[in-house]
Amino acid sequence: MQQHAVELLGDFPSAEASWPWDRRAPEEVPRPSILLVDDDPHMLDVQVRSLQSMGYTQTTTALSAPEALLQVEHDPNSAQLIICDLRMPGMDGLEFLQLLNASPFRGSVILLSGESERVMHSVQKLIGGQQLTILGALTKPANRNALRALLECWRPRASACAPPAERQFPAEEVRAAVNQQQWVLHYQPQVDLKSGALVGLEALVRWQHPQLGIIRPDQFISTVEDQGQISELTDWVLRRALQDLAMWRGSEVHPHVAVNISMQSLLQPGYWRHIADLVREAGATPIDVVLEVTETRLAYSSLAPLENLVRLRLARFTLSIDDFGTGHSSLAQLRDVPFTELKVDRGFVHGARNNQIIRPMLEGSLGIARRLGMRSVAEGVETQDDWELLHDLDCDLAQGYFIGKPMSADQLLGWLVTWQARQALLVES
């Protein structure tokens, strides 16, 4: 009965690379050569026949992990995809995958096991993001459609996007960027799940690097914070976002802007007044602005952040707890800070419909938001399935690639036209 695909933990590159997310025609689906590893010969037999009936005819089998390793070490290209069991006598599946990670094999893996989904989830966490690409995990016996769906996610290595290097730029270079304001703002739409209407835009900063082009914030924000310059950056972001907002006000759209506020800034006593002044000087009001807060690094060693947040709330800013469910964005924060919006981290959103681990966490988070009278926002909405689940769960707002990627201000109008056409279909169905 338990035949659910456990979704991949990481982001699948093609989801970001293409839109719309149409299923490809069957003849276009590339078919890998497959190595099946299972200690049960009968199971291997069943799997081989099942794969053949789906058009996957290049299969080999191994009755133990060491046998499979021998094959792969002998010829790393003999299989492009390995489907493996976890519980095997002698060497278990986890050890096998660890050794595979260290071997020349650079292909993909699907877990197929009688273990609980939570065990498989943890194994993916341990193994994924290294040399191997884990396409997903299935509980035995595999549901044909679920297996087919995972197999269709397979892409030859050459076209898979390498994960971006986690580099931080040298402090000097980042300091110069702050001083010269080498920034551009991208905006990602947030839409109402009931009506599809555009409600908000999250402002996401990028560094316009003079030589390297557009750089994403994960490669410089923490350096800016370390240098004590994050408030300068936030000032720029807020001013620019409010300028753009004033411009759009001329048209028929009236979104709010959501801006990410660093805990570094909130540690400064009186920071709330600085924000309030800045918004007033821009001719805007607090209800135009959502302040997204993630506590990334600091515990509340001082009362200043809490005081700033309370004052901002008293001034009628919307306070959003960002990345809820991860790190320090926790129940304790929710208890102590008067947040008015809860933004569920994308790790609990994409793929939740068929994932028995994260779905209860998504439902629980939305239930908490509702009972506390907070607006709920789901980030990382990547597919129609994600959208429909959130709609059925009465989540308020959705943000993610399914709706629109972060884009420059001048792309927004074009996006809106396309969205309005899709919106009509989505809301009808």
Question: Taking CB under 5 A as the rule, which mask of x and - marks residues 292-311 in contact with Mn ion?
Answer: x-------------------
Q: Does 297 bind ligand G (CB under 6 A)?
A: no
Question: Taking CB under 6 A as the rule, which mask of x and - marks residues 218-257 in contact with ligand G?
Answer: x--x--------x---x--x--------------------
Helix (H) or strand (E) holding 425: helix 412-428
Name the CA dihedral angle for 408, 413, 414, 417, rounded to a multiple of 10 degrees: 140
Question: Taking CB under 6 A as the rule, which mask of x and - marks residues 195-214 in contact with ligand G?
Answer: ---------xx---------
Q: Does 404 bind ligand G (CB under 6 A)?
A: no
* 332 Ramachandran zone, left/alpha/beta (phi>0; psi -120 to 50): alpha
d(CA 135, CA 95): 18
- What number of other Cβ atoms are within 10 A of residue 367's Cβ? 13
- From the list Mn ion, ligand G, none, which binds 11 (C-beta under 5 to 8 Å, kind-based)? ligand G
3-class state of residue 392 by DSSP: helix
User: Judged by CB under 6 A, which of 113, 231, 262, 333 binds ligand G?
Assistant: 262
Residue 259: CB minimum distance to ligand G, A:
6
Q: Are 313 and 340 in contact (CB under 8 A)?
A: yes
3-class state of residue 341 by DSSP: strand
- What number of other Cβ atoms are within 10 A of residue 136's Cβ? 24
Q: Which residue has 């769906």 as its token pair?
A: 149
Q: Does 188 bind ligand G (CB under 6 A)?
A: yes
Q: Does 295 bind ligand G (CB under 6 A)?
A: no
Q: Are 97 and 69 in contact (CB under 8 A)?
A: no
Which of 237/242 has CB closer to ligand G?
Answer: 237
- From the list Mn ion, ligand G, none, which binds 284 (C-beta under 5 to 8 Å, kind-based)? none
Which of 292/386 has CB closer to Mn ion?
Answer: 292
Q: Does 322 bind Mn ion (CB under 5 A)?
A: yes
Residue 399: CB minimum distance to Mn ion, A:
9
- Burial of residue 130 (CB within 10 Å: 0-12, 13-18, 19+) is middle
Which of 9/65 has CB closer to ligand G?
Answer: 9
- Report DSSP state, residue 322: E
Which residues here bind ligand G, judged by CB under 6 A? 11, 188, 204-205, 216-218, 221, 230, 234, 237, 260, 262, 294, 322-323, 346, 379-382, 400-401, 406
